[in-house]
Chain A
Amino acid sequence: MTHTFTVSPDFPPARISGWFIFNTWLQRRLEAAIHLELYDDFVRQRADIAAGKIDLIYANPYDAALLVREKGFVPVARPRDKADEAIIAVPAASAVQHVEDLRPGARIASTDDPDVRTMGMIMIEPADLSAANTAAVACGNYVLVAKALLSGTADAGFFLKQSFEELSEVTRRQLRQIVESHIYVVHHALMAGPRLAPRRDEIRDALLGMDQDAKGRDILANLGLAGWDELDEEATEFMIDLMDTLT
């Protein structure tokens, strides 16, 4: 039987090959056939999760509730020292210095990355802004969010912190960060679906040992990860509860 592995669509395009290499490594470690299915957007991925097509996922924290509470996934591991944090940035020359300087009608560029969008919307609340009185500028990725700011089609943009920091130096010089989240406890998670759940501890052991050899460390580096830490049920439930308070 071939299992299906997928990755939250918010990963940077440069990491695609890294996930294929990781999948090959995982198949060898588990001696199992695993197909890597990548999606361009969260809607199609969630449809396949709902249809029971996914067995293993590197999931966005926003989807943790759906996966654990509705689809019977079990948490396996989380990326070490890697929390999801959001940044709101404006064009460098913008008169906006603080979130409170943004006004109703502001055009906000963002991707469909749900946890970053949630954190971004929370950070504009102090300006009495919400989805109801701002204009959303939908972008396919964070480079396009930056372009929307530089072209003047958006007044502010939501970025995943890591993606903001990975923008080119030239682009970043033309942008200015006005606020950054420091939430610490929101992070991606690798989770096993019902068909792979019986092998949860085996997958955990493989992941936790990845940084013990040079090949494993190379694969991790290609994913932008330092290693994996075990993620238990209670820590996942806590994150789900926390995300629930934010939405």
Chain B
Amino acid sequence: MLRDMEPADIAGGAFKEARLTYFDGASRIVRYTDVEVPFPEGRLIVSCTDVPGMITQANKAFVDMSGYSKEELIGAPHYILRHPDMPRAAFKGLWDTLARGEKWTGYVKNLRKDGAYYWVFATVIGNVRKGNLVGYTSVRRKPSRTKIDECAKLYPTLFAPGEREAYSP
């Protein structure tokens, strides 16, 4: 169970609040700012989850960019990164695509522990071992500013009626 984000963890003073409810029914208050952290040059953010979506592996770039310690990330649900500016529709097709045994790609705005955000170009694939799905690997790389700007305009238009209102803490 994720705890609410603590005001003391938020960098830079002023922040906004939202209550996010995740696919498994869990819910928490997230606090976020308008501070963007640029994706580091030449890095890949790599993480693995088990089938339910709990993080099992996190590389150093993931730890550095998320702001969480490795100990905080391992065993946490991957939606710990979910930013309130990401509409559910932006992830539509992710699970359907993975269920077909294909890889999913998309541009994602991620939430850091300190309330700042970072954009990534994400690819997710299922890990199949001896014919069985045992988890997922997600690799995030640096997106172009053009794509970020397109998504920053598009995503606010994809919220379903009432989806954002439900954020009220």
Taking Cβ atoms with an 8 Å cutoff, the residues of A that contact B are 99-100, 122-123, 125-128, 179-185, 234, 237-238, 241-242, 244-246
Contacts and interface: CB of A to CB of B under 8 A. Distances in A.
Nearest to A246: B139
A87 to B, nearest CB: 9
A185 to B, nearest CB: 7
B167 interface: no
Contacts of B70: none
A122 to B, nearest CB: 6
B146 interface: yes
15 contacts: A122-B141, A123-B41, A126-B142, A126-B143, A128-B144, A181-B44, A182-B40, A234-B129, A238-B127, A241-B137, A242-B137, A242-B139, A245-B124, A245-B125, A245-B137
Most-contacted residue by chain B among A100, A184, A185, A245 (CB, 10 A): A245
Contacts, number: 61
B42 A123 contact: yes
Most-contacted residue by chain A among B43, B139, B145 (CB, 10 A): B139
B118 interface: no
Interface of B: 40-44, 46, 48, 59-61, 103, 121, 123-125, 127, 129, 137-139, 141-147
A160 B142 CA distance: 20
Contacts of B121: 125
A99 B129 CA distance: 37
Nearest to B142: A126
B42 A181 contact: yes
Contact of B44 (A126, A183, A234): A183
Contacts of A123: 41-42, 142
A126 B129 CA distance: 33
B144 A244 contact: no
A237 B127 contact: yes
Contact of A128 (B123, B141, B146): B146
A179 B41 CA distance: 7
Given A125-B121, A185-B59, A241-B137, A179 B143 contact: no
Nearest to B44: A183
Contact of A179 (B42, B60, B138, B146): B42
Contacts of A184: 59-60
Nearest to A184: B59
B24 to A, nearest CB: 24
A242 B42 contact: no
Nearest to B141: A122
